[in-house]
């Protein structure tokens, strides 16, 4: 998720960035909950300091009545602290879930547009090959060769998803290997094989990619 301090210090920047994604996020609610959380924290810390001071005073008091009065005062403060801590937990839980609704901010260089038709070609590699016939689009070619299954892909994952099978799956695997080798050998990347599973906080920390 986005760093809370960043949202607090740059709320307008976050809002403008999310407009590029054609989405909204509860930034104002996050700021409100964050302010409430910090206010509660400050109040709890102030009351705890009072309890600490009162504890020291009780040890110095000689009059039993004064001691009892101070102890009663500490009990009241303790109950107030418990109530505030319960409220603080609720606010922190709400703040946590609000933050989960905020996606990652796009890079400033990303072109703004409502859909993929506004994508910009950054660069091209090589020269497109000329054919003496009308080439088939990849989806028709894939179905004709029985290496792509769109119907089952949609059933599994929804619109625009597909299953690669046979030579299609092997081609995908070969392309992945080629891409890794290229970036390792020519671009100085270090290949890393992380654990298959990660802790929940690691996934949450990646935000909505």
Domains along the chain with CATH numbers: 4-100 (1.10.287.40), 134-205 (no CATH)
Long-range Cβ contact pairs of 103-108 (< 8 A, separation 24 or more): 103/18, 103/21, 103/23, 103/25, 103/207, 103/208, 104/2, 104/207, 104/208, 104/209, 105/2, 105/14, 105/17, 105/18, 106/17, 106/20, 106/21
Look-up of token digits 């506004």: 118
Strand runs labelled E in the chain:
148-149, 163-164
Q: Per-residue confidence of the chain (209 residues) as pLDDT tens digits?
A: 889 999 999 999 999 998 888 888 999 999 999 999 999 999 999 999 998 888 888 878 878 888 888 889 889 999 999 999 999 999 999 999 999 999 888 888 888 888 888 888 988 889 988 999 999 999 999 999 999 999 999 999 999 999 999 999 999 999 999 999 999 999 999 999 999 998 888 888 776 65
């Amino acid at each position: 998720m986005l760093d809370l301090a960043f949202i607090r210090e740059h709320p307008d920047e976050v809002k403008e960035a999310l407009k590029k994604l054609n989405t909204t996020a509860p930034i104002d609610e996050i700021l409100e909950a964050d302010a409430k959380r910090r206010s509660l924290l400050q109040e709890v810390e102030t009351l705890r300091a009072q309890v600490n001071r009162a504890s020291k005073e009780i040890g110095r008091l000689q009059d039993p009545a004064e001691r009892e009065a101070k102890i009663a005062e500490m009990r009241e403060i303790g109950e107030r602290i418990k109530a505030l801590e319960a409220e603080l937990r609720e606010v922190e839980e709400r703040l946590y879930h609000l933050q989960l609704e905020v996606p990652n901010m796009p890079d400033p260089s990303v072109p703004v547009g409502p859909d993929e038709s506004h994508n910009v070609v950054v660069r091209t590699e090589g020269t497109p090959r000329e054919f003496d016939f009308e080439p088939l689009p990849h989806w028709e070619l894939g179905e004709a060769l029985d290496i792509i299954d769109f119907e089952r892909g949609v059933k599994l994952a929804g619109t625009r998803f597909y299953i690669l099978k046979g030579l299609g799956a092997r081609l995908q695997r070969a392309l992945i290997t080629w891409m890794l080798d290229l970036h390792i050998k020519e671009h100085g990347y270090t290949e890393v094989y992380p654990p298959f599973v990660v802790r929940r906080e690691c996934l949450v920390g990646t935000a909505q990619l």
